[in-house]
Amino acid sequence: MEDFQKVKKIDTHTHHNSESTALTEAAIEANFHLLTVSVDVPDYPSLEEQIRLALLQKGENPDAIDFLATISLENWADPDWAEKEIARIEKAFEQGALGIKIWKNIGMTYKDEKGDFIMADHPRLEQIYGFVEAQGKTLMAHLGEPRNCWLPLEEMTVNNDRSYFARHPEYHMYLHPEYPNYEEQLAARDRLLEKFPDLRFVGAHLGSLEWSVDELAKRLDRYPNLAVDLAARMGHVQFQSQKDRERVRDFMIRYQDRLIYGTDLEISEEVDPKKVKSSAMAAWQKDWKYLVSAEWMETGDVNGRFQGLQLPRSVVDKIYFHNAVKWFSIDS
């Protein structure tokens, strides 16, 4: 635990929807470099505003933060939609973006001219993926949701999922059986990976395979261009380690080159900067404790106690730093 402050770390999944630099300042204090991720979320600022805020953060603390851009499917019906979106992300790349993120509204919100859901492997998206690959950039993808999303609230395995889907019934797929199911979401993502084997791909939130390290291992074995981040899914890992700690620990060691630390921390205009700093520090230290120590812990996400994984230092360094540098081409 005493190494937390000393070790260089990267949090590859944050959202800075504010001009406040409080989260970046907290990162500097904790020896973190941040990646702020633009995303097409309905209650987030416009995509242009998210880039402006990312550039503002980068301008204030150039050595402490980088950013990802994104695309919009809002004008999907336009014949030149792909060309306009490529122009958007090309400009972002020129401004310093390390890649783009696509979100779960692909597969869960947008529909094509036939009324079918636009899935991750839709042919019109291939121009986007091809451009990102040709530019040597990274595609981060939040596709689908935790498998809990297709269960009733009382059957979900972790409390943060139960809370999130209670607040967002529009994304609770148990309530929407007419939408593509869990298996269809993953199958579309897998076909994307097969089509673009040289595209550097980071599956956000453990690639929506958070419920089983064994199932995630199968995908990592099958797709060498796939890495996954831990953002907002540490509770799922802890739930599994509560049942079988050695299985989870062995998985983390075996796939140490493919796991990337992230949190999904965000800051908006309405929050208190002091609270942002204290909550960020608490979240970072809690995750660090779980991964580096063998202490028994409790969190709000998981019911009951579980033991830390006490991973080897070399593995911790990869998860927290070296893998992020490799998969996002972060200037270390």
Here the tokens at position 289 are 């404790």
Residue pair 1/7 in contact by the 8 Å Cβ criterion = no
User: Which structural domain range is residue 85 located in?
Assistant: 9-328
Closest CA to 140 of 171, 109, 110, 102: 102
Contact 200, 225 (CB under 8 A): yes
**What is the spatial distance between Cα 12 and Cα 125, in angstroms, rounded to a whole number?**
24
> Is 147 domain-assigned?
yes
Per-residue confidence (pLDDT) for residue 319, from 0 to 100: 98
pLDDT, tens digit, for every residue of 75-115? Answer: 999 999 999 999 999 999 999 999 999 999 999 999 999 99
Radius of gyration of the chain (CA): 19
Considering the domain boundaries, does residue 3 fall inside one?
no
Separation CA 256–CA 247 (nearest Å): 14
Q: Is residue 240 part of a domain?
A: yes
Q: Into how many domains does the chain fold?
A: 1
76 in a domain, yes or no?
yes
The per-residue pLDDT for 269 is 85
The amino acid sitting at 299 is: T
Is pLDDT above 80 for 332? no
pLDDT of residue 270: 80
CATH of the domain at 119: 3.20.20.140
Smallest CA-to-CA distance from 267 within 54, 62, 80 is with 54
Contacts of 41 (CB under 8 A, 6+ apart): 103
pLDDT 10s digits, 287-296: 999 999 999 9
Report the C-alpha dihedral over residues 263, 264, 268, 271, rounded to 10 degrees: -40
Mean pLDDT over residues 149-176, rounded?
Answer: 97
pLDDT tens digits, one per residue of 182-191: 999 999 999 9
Residue 2 forms part of a structural domain: no
Average pLDDT, the chain: 97
Is 1 contained in some domain?
Answer: no
CB 58 within 8 A of CB 34: no
HEC string for the chain = CCCCCCCCEEEEEEEEECCCCHHHHHHHHCCEEEEEECCCCCCCCCHHHHHHHHHHHHHHCCCCEEEEEECCCCCCCCCCHHHHHHHHHHHHHHCCCCEEEECCHHHHCCECCCCCECCCCCHHHHHHHHHHHHCCCEEEECCCCCHHHHCCHHHCCCHHHHHHHHHCHHHCHHHCCCCCCHHHHHHHHHHHHHHCCCCEEEEHHHHCCCCCHHHHHHHHHHCCCEEEECCCCHHHHHHHHHHCHHHHHHHHHHCCCCEECCCCEEEECCCCHHHHHHHHHHHHHHHHHHHHCCCEECCCCCCCCEECCCCCHHHHHHHHHHHHHHHHCCCC
Residue 203: band (very low, low, confident or very high) from pLDDT cuts 50, 70, 90: very high
Residue 9's pLDDT band (boundaries 50, 70, 90)? very high
- Residue 165 resides in a domain: yes
**212-255, pLDDT tens digit by residue?**
999 999 999 999 999 999 999 999 999 999 999 999 999 999 99
Two tokens, residue 213 = 């390290």
Q: Flag whether the pTM goes above 0.95.
A: yes
What letters, b where the CB count within 10 A reaches 16 and e where it falls short, cover 58-71? beeeeebbbbbbbb
Whether residue 106 is contained in a domain is answered as yes
